[in-house]
Structure 1
């Protein structure tokens, strides 16, 4: 059973839903400690008071805000919990918006909201079904760990999930990171779309979505424990400079098709880099009937024209 991180209520107009907040994710990565390489003694971080020059325990440690080097304002956990904010004890829903209107860069870690007791069951289900039917998400404010935060509530199965959100001024402007202006042809865009189509799938289940790094670290630990040779590292892929973008797209489509057991000509999906013809140009390029030739090598049209000329000459009246 996951540990409760925070308890309070969702405030939805005049509706209140008592909830417990638990983490929605688990950390399965392998963690390391620091050791002294000479004798493998554990290296620990000790908290020392700079004035008394001695180690202090957790019970002696509190928070404080440094006004100057010589003046610090102490702030207790109780004072932070009792802040004069409506969000100190509740998740206050401020608005409902379409999910696509929220920039994903603002969405952070997720938490499950658990109804706190039988009294919360009905309003919890009411809010969940309303969110699901409206296809919207709720944007809310709440206060945790000494600061007010912005959050996003959405439906996941039968549960309501709270995602922490970053404030607008916490998102950096990427303008200075953008590449210099370049031109991308329509053919290259179509090639990229063909590659995306060949890599499209319905879910994120499969071997390529497992944590290979953690598995590799576990193999190293097991090999060293049993005094066996370490697993060999795979040969790194060559990362040459891409000179022909269209050729790279065609090769990528071919590899994506092969990895999924599909066969086909990648060049049929990724067209050559030819400019698209405009409608006006299409009208001027109508197909002309193919010429058929006689045994002498002349076309039927040429032969008919000569016969007509002979008949006309025969009909002219002779001069007196």
Structure 2
């Protein structure tokens, strides 16, 4: 892993030197834009429409559009003048329970590893968080942005979750079509709850895979090998299904899958003891 940031966690009067690493990585398959005629990659140019010419990177400045087509220029000196802009500390503000924070607030995850000189202080913070069952809420400036973050324990090390500020989260009431009033029968609710209970289990992330990415990689590999691809189109489901019928069919399917699962496990045990 490549260190992307170095600093320290301020825990009261305790300073914990740390290194930060990106905790997640995108496995999305990306495509390049090619010229249809010759399959040459298309280059994106920095072009000024007003001057009708390509612009060098050194001739580009930061501009904020305060009204339509009107900009104010922000210099590097303006950003450096903001208190804390060059801060290299993660300042803990308070400690809370993780279950008090809705997942909508979380953005991206980063591992925090101790520097050699701060291993004891790091271990102290990790142990204190583990034993109190709390997480830390802190602030940190990274890449000219002050972020609200949560520090918590993940697999016995510190992980930092960047968070959205409350004013960055859109109100659910603003979602078109989400606010409506409709009556549900007791039987419908009871069957839906039964379906949820039937599918309830412990979370095991290892059993989930990106099937779309797997199939896309298979298509890419087949094309690389020069094989012909056969595309099977699914027929759209245009039928309207009664809600109660759908619930019952779903429950029957869950029961069948559970019976098959139990039978399969029983056969495996028989082979081991046989």
Give the alignment's TM-score, normalised by structure 1.
0.72
Compute the displacement of 1:65 (Å): 4.3
Change (3 A) 1:110 1:141: same
Q: CA deviation at 1:200?
A: 1.6
Maintained 8 Å contact 1:29/1:214: yes
What is the CA-CA distance between 1:93 and the residue it aligns to? 0.9
Kept in 2: contact 1:87–1:148 (CA 8 A)? no
Matched, 1:125 2:123: yes
In structure 2, the partner of 1:300 is none
Distance 1:153 1:125, change over 3 A: same
**Preserved contact between residue 219 and residue 231 of structure 1 (Cα < 8 Å):** no
Deviation at 1:220, TM superposition (A): 1.4
Q: How does 1:53-202 map to 2 (within 5 A)?
A: 53-57=53-57, 59=58, 61-65=60-64, 72-76=72-76, 80=79, 83-85=82-84, 88-117=87-116, 119-177=117-175, 178-202=178-202
Residues 117-165 of structure 1 show CA distances to partners (whole Å, capped at 9, x for unaligned) of: 2x21111111111111111111111112222111111110111111111
For residues 149-193 of structure 1, give each alpha carbon's deviation from its aligned partner in whole angstroms, at most 9, with x where no partner exists. Answer: 111111101111111111111111111432421122333222122
Residue 60 of structure 1 and its aligned partner are, at CA, apart by 5.0
Map residues 168-317 of structure 1 onto 2, 5 A cutoff.
168-177=166-175, 178-205=178-205, 209-233=208-232, 235=234, 238=237, 240-243=239-242, 245-260=243-258, 261=260
- Aligned residues of 1:110 and 1:161 also touching (Cα < 8 A): yes
What is the number of residues matched between the two proteins?
257
Change in CA separation of 1:81 and 1:144 when aligned onto 2, cut-off 3 Å: farther
State which structure, 1 or 2, has the greater radius of gyration over its C-alpha atoms: 1
Task: Give the TM-score of the pair, scaled to structure 2.
Answer: 0.83
1:51-95 deviation digits (Å, cap 9, x = unpaired): 4823414x554534467868743422x764674128822111111
Deviates more, 1:19-28 or 1:196-205: 196-205
Ranked by relative contact order (alpha carbons within 8 Å, sequence separation 6 or more), the top structure is: 2
Task: Decide whether the 8 Å contact of 2:173 with 2:179 is kept in 1.
Answer: no
C-alpha distance in 2 between matches for 1:81 and 1:236: 58
* 5+ residue gaps, structure 2: 263-274
